[in-house]
A and B are shown apart, each in its own frame.
Chain A
Amino acid sequence: MAGFNLRILTPTRVAFDGLAKSVSFRTTEGEACVLNGHEDYVAPLAVGAVRIETENGERKLGCSSYGFVNVLSSNVSIFLITFEFVEEIDVARATEGMQKTSAIIAEGATGDELMDAKARHERCKMRLKVAKLSS
């Protein structure tokens, strides 16, 4: 099976740039998978796991935050605010982040602070979940 070009871009780095056989991710509507020859497609992404099967069959697991995916001909671009491969996830930091944000939410934060804490909480939770998936 031929591969397609996959690029995962965040504002701080190009996380992945190469040929892939498949990539699956979580959109706001649910899980989706893109294979070679997929029709042109655009969807917003939610916080979730990203699974990549590279051209040589290597499987990679990562954790996405908000962003979107754009499939154009045989080019797949995924734009994300943050993205980490499972081996890059700092479990201790994510656990600490979970505790901190839970405390902020419990203290009755409002407005921006609450939104921020909720978003961070969700990201930390997903990081831990993805880290568990690989172990």
Chain B
Amino acid sequence: MSDIKRRIKSIESTIKITSAMKLVSASKLRKAKIKFESVKPFFAEIYANMVDLASRIDVQQLHYVHKHIEPSNKVLYIVIGGDRGLAGGFNLNLFKKVVRTVDKKKVVILPIGKIAISFFCKNGFEILSEFSGISEEITPEKAYHITAKILHNYDSGVFDEIYLAYTGFMSTLSQEPMIKKILPLDFGKSKQGDSRRSLNYDPAPNAVFAAIVPQYFAGMLYGGIVESFAAEQAARSNAMESATGNAEEIINNLALKYNRARQFAVTKEIIEIVAGGAAGQ
């Protein structure tokens, strides 16, 4: 009986922790959702615009649009994970998707978030550099600094391709791991049928792409980090809610067991007294 009581007490304190974590992530989620809603149009449209621009360019050997002439056979994956665990499958679903997609020998990972860093280091992936504790306070300028360094590597031919792996925020209840190709921008010809309309570049196409790709890349990274952070908070909020629910269920079961045991002990005592009294007569 005292065992059951101890367990109930320990689960009760777990409930306190999980419900506090739920409250914290729910309030963070509210803020993150507002930030995500404001970046959503930019994130979606800049990508669509770049894809369209790239499909209409007729200049060959532009390394932002086509592959490098001398491939390095290395691909960079920027993986945006969380800084903390206890968020259900949030981190692992994304990491699993990346691991399934990539060829370990050809990939270089740039993990963002403590959980992503420890996962990819532990599993022996080649790491470019790492960033942690930036997701909550990310600004477009910070994203720009990170991408400037990566672009420098891309320009000098260290990587052939750059991908962004993040978690999409579908709704508070559903988050989905996503992989988006950032560079090069060779997504095939435009479907809109306007690829024959001439496009005026000012200055020349090479210079235009050299100037706008950094903005595009920074915008994509910023959008990915903001969306992943919102998804992380939603995932944690859901995970903690179900953890609290499960803990309550366990407590209910244990309380039932405890009451039965108590009742059994009382009944046993009564039987003993009655039996003792009967024997005395």
Interface of B is mostly: helix
Number of A-B contacts (CB under 8 A): 90
**A residues less than 8 Å from B201 (CB atoms):** 41-43
Q: Mark A38-81, 1 if CB is under 8 A from B, else 0.
A: 01111110000000000000000000001110101100010101
Query: Is A40 touching B202 in the complex (CB atoms < 8 A)?
Result: no
Do B38 and A12 touch (CB < 8 A)?
yes
CB interface residues, B 125-160, toward A, < 8 Å: 140-141, 143-145
The answer, yes or no, to whether B218 is at the interface (CB within 8 Å) is yes
- Docked-complex contact B39 and A11, CB < 8 angstroms: yes
Taking CB atoms, residues of chain A closer than 8 Å to B215 are: 44, 66-68, 79, 81
Nearest-Cβ distance from residue B279 to partner chain A, whole angstroms: 86
Contacts of A11 in B (CB 8 A): 38-39, 42-43, 140, 143, 219, 222-223, 226
The residues of A that contact B218 with a CB separation of less than 8 Å are 81
B 210-239 binary contact with A (CB < 8 Å = 1; else 0): 011001101100110010000000000000
From residue B221, how far is it (CB to closest CB) to chain A in Å? 10
* Interface band, chain B: 35 or more
Inter-chain contact B198/A14, CB cutoff 8 Å: no
- A9 cross-chain contacts in B, Cβ below 8 A: 41-42, 45-46
A1-34 interface code vs B (CB 8 A; 1 in, 0 out) = 0000001011111100000000000011100100
Given contacts A40-B200, A42-B201, A68-B212, contact A81 B42 (CB under 8 A): no
Q: How far is the CB of B228 from chain A (nearest CB, A)?
A: 14
CB contacts (< 8 Å) of B219 on chain A: these are 11, 79, 81
Known: A9-B41, A9-B46, A79-B219. A40 touches B211 (CB 8 A): no
Bitwise, B14-52 to A at CB < 8 A (1) or not (0) is 000000000000000000000100110111011001001
Minimum CB–CB distance from B108 to chain A (whole Å) comes to 22
**What is the size, in residues, of chain A's interface with B at 8 Å between Cβ atoms?**
29
User: Beyond A11-B223, A40-B200, A72-B52, is A112–B41 a contact (Cβ under 8 Å)?
Assistant: no
* Minimum CB–CB distance for A63 against chain B, Å: 16
A14 to B44, CA, bound (A): 12
Minimal Cβ-Cβ distance residue in A for B42: A9
In the complex, B86 has a CB within 8 A of chain A: no
Chain A residues with CB under 8 Å of B103's CB are none
Confirm or deny: A36 has a beta carbon within 8 angstroms of a beta carbon on chain B.
no
Please name all residues of chain A whose beta carbon is closer than 8 Å to the beta carbon of B197 when the two chains form the complex. Answer: 40
Query: What are the residues of chain B within 8 A of A39 when measuring CB–CB?
Result: 198, 200
Given pairs A40-B198, A44-B215, 16 additional interface contacts (CB within 8 A) = A7-B45, A11-B226, A28-B203, A29-B202, A39-B198, A41-B199, A42-B199, A42-B208, A43-B201, A43-B202, A68-B211, A70-B53, A73-B194, A79-B49, A81-B140, A116-B141
A interface residues (Cβ-Cβ under 8 A, vs B): 7, 9-14, 27-29, 32, 39-44, 66-68, 70, 72-73, 77, 79, 81-82, 112, 116
Q: List chain B positions with a Cβ less than 8 A from chain A.
A: 35, 38-39, 41-43, 45-46, 49, 52-53, 140-141, 143-145, 194, 197-203, 207-208, 211-212, 215-216, 218-219, 222-223, 226
A-B pairs with beta carbons under 8 Å apart, 22 shown: A9-B42, A10-B42, A11-B42, A11-B143, A11-B219, A13-B38, A14-B41, A29-B203, A32-B202, A40-B198, A40-B199, A41-B200, A42-B201, A43-B201, A43-B203, A44-B208, A44-B212, A44-B215, A68-B211, A72-B194, A79-B45, A116-B141
